[in-house]
Amino acid sequence: MRRKRSSITLSNLLIEDYAAEGKCIARQDGKVIFVEGVVPGDRVDIRILKSKKDWAEAVPIAFIEKAKERVDPFCAHFGVCGGCQWQMLPYAKQLQYKQQQVEQTLQRIGKVALPTILPIAGASPTTGYRNKIEYTFGNKRYLLPSELGNEEISSQSNVAGFHARGFFDKIVDIDTCHLQTSPSNELRNFIKALALQKGWTFYDSRAHQGYLRNLQLRLCRSGELMVNLIVGEDKPKQTRELLEVLQEKFPAITTLLYTVNTKWNDSIQDLQPVVFSGKGYVEEILRGKDPEEIYRFKIGPLSFFQTNTSQAETLYRLTAEAAALTGRETLYDLYCGTGSIGIFLSRKAGRIVGVEQVAAAIEDAKENAKINQIENASFFAGDVIDVCTDEFFAGQGRPDVIVTDPPRAGMHETLIDKLLEIAASTVVYVSCNPATQARDLQRLDRVYQVTHVQPVDMFPHTHHIENIVQLKRR
């Protein structure tokens, strides 16, 4: 059931500044209004979506005047699929606002003493940077405003692209996505065209039926390409026919898999992809600061790996700088995932100890350590709170340096208490959410002071940002 639209509108408001999470600020009679889809300098009419005593949320309904610094978006699907919200801003301006977001968030929420925040590390390239992407097939097309009322375009159409923002069942039909390089678009469009020719069904998320469901692609710097076709119905003959044609038409595919997902949700983490051809995984390459520093990582269809390979190198190099290792330290890598940060830092540390709750990720980490002939790293599955006991420290050594890279929700209070108890001399906190990071810094403040802050842009043309903070024990 969709919420009834608010009838409250305000006219001719100036968008004054950037706030966070892709929203900007306007003011009316002292009230702060957070507006989506605008940039500072725009003058707009808005519709209020939510209103509280001191603040409100709104969307623009008409542009009276557009900011002078706006640029033309390079993607034909801008503003519809929701994937790249900032294409109307020059990249330098995007970086400026992300830097501002980190500074203001740490000051407003963290309320701790801060050093001068270093300039944000920008990305290059700013398009085609994703090594992983997932497309969705569906039988309900999201109609653009210009398409409404056009009898030649039906919303009951088989399409391939991305979920429309705010709709679980409507798909934006994508012609060209600029997030991943060739043959990403060619693969999606070929499968769609072949399925239409053959009369194969596209997934209906309401009726919970249909054959074509998702397409996951991993395109690595190493040149390896993994394709995982996810189908909503188990039709072995049909699947074999499709995969054989894909292998023939796209010889660049080094690993081809399929996954049968008959669940209500799109997650395949609890399913087992089937290898049709190839070795069942791809290898990606990360390079350290020194030319001889080359690391290889095995990535399976269910593995986590940073989706921007080039900026992952930047992030890990800057994390290494913040860790300030001399070659003797015992470094604990918490939320270590498949071990990428720990392995990247292993040649600079005396010992690496990785801890991660997901057991499958720990198996990947151990495999990656073997691939890179890393003998000073050990990885353990379990919750940090349960793993890091006095007995564990007796066997593995107490950490001199801790690197923590938690999910967007940040660190649980019990983990922060554990960090305060461990009292390592240095903590490097890598975060994809400056707001929860700032909250956690406040909790750590009685033992640690912030000595280094380095923002990193991992996802150009979006409002997402990574931030590295070095903390030193007082």
If one counts every other C-beta atom within 10 angstroms of the C-beta of residue 209, the result is 13
CB contact at 8 A, 258 and 273: yes
Catalytic site residue from 24, 75, 84, 432: 432
The reply to whether 432 belongs to the active site is: yes
Residue 135's DSSP bridge partners are 215
List the structure tokens of 306: 């940073």
| Close Cβ partners of 47 (under 8 Å, ≥ 6 residues apart) | 5, 6, 8, 9, 58, 59, 61
DSSP string, 216-273: EEEE-TTS-EEEEEEESS--HHHHHHHHHHHHHH-TT-SEEEEEE--SSS---TTS--
Measured N-to-C along each axis, helices 236-249 and 184-198 cross at an angle, to the nearest 10 degrees, of 140
End-to-end C-alpha distance for the chain, whole angstroms: 53
Residue 47's DSSP bridge partners are 9, 59
H-run or E-run covering 97: helix 91-105
Q: Looking at residue 193, what DSSP letter applies?
A: H
The residues carrying an active-site annotation are 432
